[in-house]
Amino acid sequence: MDKELIRKYKKIAIVEDDLNLQQLLVKNLKKEGFDCTGFSEGKSLIEYILKERDMIILLDQKLPDMTGKDLIDKIHSYQMKIPFIVMTGQGDEKLAVEMMKKGASDYLIKDMDLLDILPEVLDKLLSNLLTEIRLKDTENSLKIALDKNTALLNSFPDLMFLVDSDFIFKDFFPKNAKDNHLFNLSELIGENILNVFHPEVTEKIYEKVNQVFLNGKTELYDYSVIYNDQALFYESRFVPFGKNEVLIIERNVTEKKKNEDEKERLKSQLLQSQKLESIGRLAGGVAHDFNNMLNGIMGAAQLI
């Protein structure tokens, strides 16, 4: 990728109406490995960049058909951002400031040192351009990764909170989550966790978050709270999320707990029924044996 970028920005458009200087600049920069094309007017450059925009412009301020400033304005009107360096025959600080505001990478005086310093100035600009492009690519990659992570977090049914090292809520997921009896999500961001969770569990949750920051390991905490005379059950996980954040995952398991309790109740009823059935069978057997004994005794009595 770097080789391709270098090839693009090694292309220099030299806009200089002094043909002798223009040819000298082209010749000198070609020796340094740059691909140079000379232009004497702003109009001819515009026609060129509408077809080929990957380049660096070396721009004379005074041209036959327009000023360097007018030429840059014209380029910007086409929604194009092309790196450029301004050259002028005399120092003008006001002009230099104006051109820098318009995006000039440098401002050079056309003196005896120009040919010597120009390759170094262009190499520096090229290095800065490559760094800027790499940073932009990195930012785009990070944004893509962040968007993917956010989409993944938004797909989970559990309520999740992102907390920083100051124990402040930074974000929550999923974004379509609604307020509930424990959390007013619209007012959550920026709050300290000590001011948000149910008073019965706040201290323990604070302790768990702090443990994650200290040891970098996932912590677990299951708890219940009373709301409107009803017991609510939660499973919480505290997960390291980057260097300075913790992801709190809150799962409401009240229905699961109710189902488990109901299952235990039915199991207990079944065991009780099985016990009663066993007792009934035992009592029936005893009664049968007793009847046999009683019949024997009554038969004997009749013989007497």
| Residue range 211-268, pLDDT digits in tens | 999 999 999 999 888 877 788 888 899 999 877 899 998 888 888 777 765 666 666 6
**pLDDT (average), residues 98-106:** 90
Give the span between the Cα atoms of 206 and 197, in whole angstroms.
Answer: 9
- How would DSSP label each residue in the chain? -HHHHHHHHTEEEEE-S-HHHHHHHHHHHHHTT-EEEEESSHHHHHHHHTT---SEEEEESB-SSSBHHHHHHHHHHTT----EEEEESS--HHHHHHHHHTT-SEEEE-STTHHHHHHHHHHHHHHHHHHHHHHHHHHHHHHHHHHHHHHHHHT-SSEEEEEETTSBEEEEE-TT----SS--GGGTTT-BGGGTS-TTTHHHHHHHHHHHHHH---EEEEEEEEETTEEEEEEEEEEE-SSSEEEEEEEE-HHHHHHHHHHHHHHHHHHHHHHHHHHHHHHHHHHHHHHHHHHHHHHHHHH-
pLDDT at 1 over 50: no
pTM above 0.75, yes or no: no
What rounded mean pLDDT belongs to the chain? 82
CB-based contact 55:80 (threshold 8 Å): no
> First-to-last CA distance in the chain?
121
CB-based contact 100:92 (threshold 8 Å): no
pLDDT at position 51: 87
Name the residue with higher pLDDT: 192 or 273.
Answer: 192
Q: Would you state the structure tokens that stand for residue 254, as one six-digit string? A: 């009240």
With a pLDDT cut of 70, the percent of the chain lying above it is 76
pLDDT at 167 over 80: yes
- pLDDT category of residue 174 using cuts at 50, 70 and 90: confident
pLDDT at 179 over 70: no
pLDDT at 296 over 80: no
Give the span between the Cα atoms of 82 and 49, in whole angstroms.
Answer: 9
